[in-house]
Structure 1
Amino acid sequence: MDVLHICIGLGPLAAYLMLLGLINLRRRPFITTGARDISALGIAITGLMIVGPLDLFMPQAAAQFFGNTVWVLFITLYLLIWLLSVLVMRPRLVVYNISCEQLRTVLASLVAELDKDVRWAGDSAILPGLGIQFNLESKSIARCAQISSVGPQQDYTGWQKLETELAARLKEEKVPGNPFAVSMVLAAIGLSVLLTVLILKDPGLVYGQLKELLRF
């Protein structure tokens, strides 16, 4: 694989790792929706998609007819497909930099205030007043927890209210440092340095590879 393909493939991934590392270095939890979380991942792997499937299966006739505009069309198609997958996803909240046990404590107190008829069954809860059902899941390595919807019948207004109230409640929480965050930041820095060195080693070669990729 040439230098340009390495840079395109790993550049967005390095930025994604840096973002996750900085989020986890904070001493407070960070909440986002599943749609935003998966969108960020989609952007992170865009480079890998460009140098992988999009480049491999690029129709030569289309490349000759549209010129370098064909890349705009292909990337737009990829983003639209990713956007469609995001839109059809069930509601989900992702909370970084917090253990599942700590989130469970905060969440139990919050949902009891939001809906007096809340019912718990293990890590699952039903809030009939808000019209939502969810399951609490954990990713212990990254110290990340997520609240995933259960069942097709979900009230999106109820999920928005839960997100808003939970975000306000989590601002009061403090968490210890996350060693995993340091690893992600160091990996991002390492990738960035590697890519910079590869580009500066022979800028002319990289430019030539870019011209070939864009099919000037």
Structure 2
Amino acid sequence: MEDDIFCVFSNLSFINHSCSPSAAWGCIGGSNKNMEVRAIIDIQPQTEITVNYIENQSFLLSTTQRKTLLSQVWEFTCTCNGCLADEKKEKGVLQISNQILERSRAALCKKDYELLWKLQKQKLRIVKTRTNLQQLSNTYQTLLVVSAALHLEKTEVEQLISEWKVECCDLEEYSKMFDDLTKSFDKGKPKEEKEFMDSGNLRNEWISLIYRKL
């Protein structure tokens, strides 16, 4: 929806939901009036293409919470592989993810960037197992900004940028996030330290961005 305009996409509307999707969709051209869909895993012939209808909400939701949300908003009961997975194992992952969120917020408030880096690296490993492109992109953004405060070795930052480019940039809207941030880096280092830092700490606008991305 944009400016009270609702759009119906005659092809994309046929794509079914899965909490463990094989594809993702997003806007193109900076407008909600145009969308694209891209594979996020290798899809075998004759295999259904699926997307996550609630990707921006589902990362910290349990199976029961996801099913309730989908039932209330989309009016169907989800029986995808993600919902049939081991709930005990999922509960453990969600508990760890919530702990990472709370500890990351505390580290950010205390300006403990080293701890924040370690926590977000742990989150990254979890996100990679849960097929959530939005959370993946958010975590890479957070890590790259924090790297500017830590003055990391350029090879480590270059590796981070390389991984992000491969994993998050097929969709135009995620590619734009990548381009907007990485253009401020050169050979693993910020082009202008003052763009990120003020009196030895991250600038307030970056702290606000990180808080939203956590």
TM-score of the pair, normalised by structure 2: 0.24
Say which one has the larger Rg: 1
Of Structure 1 and Structure 2, which has the larger fraction of its residues in helix?
1
Choose between structure 1 and 2 for higher RCO, CA contacts under 8 A separated by at least 6 residues: 1
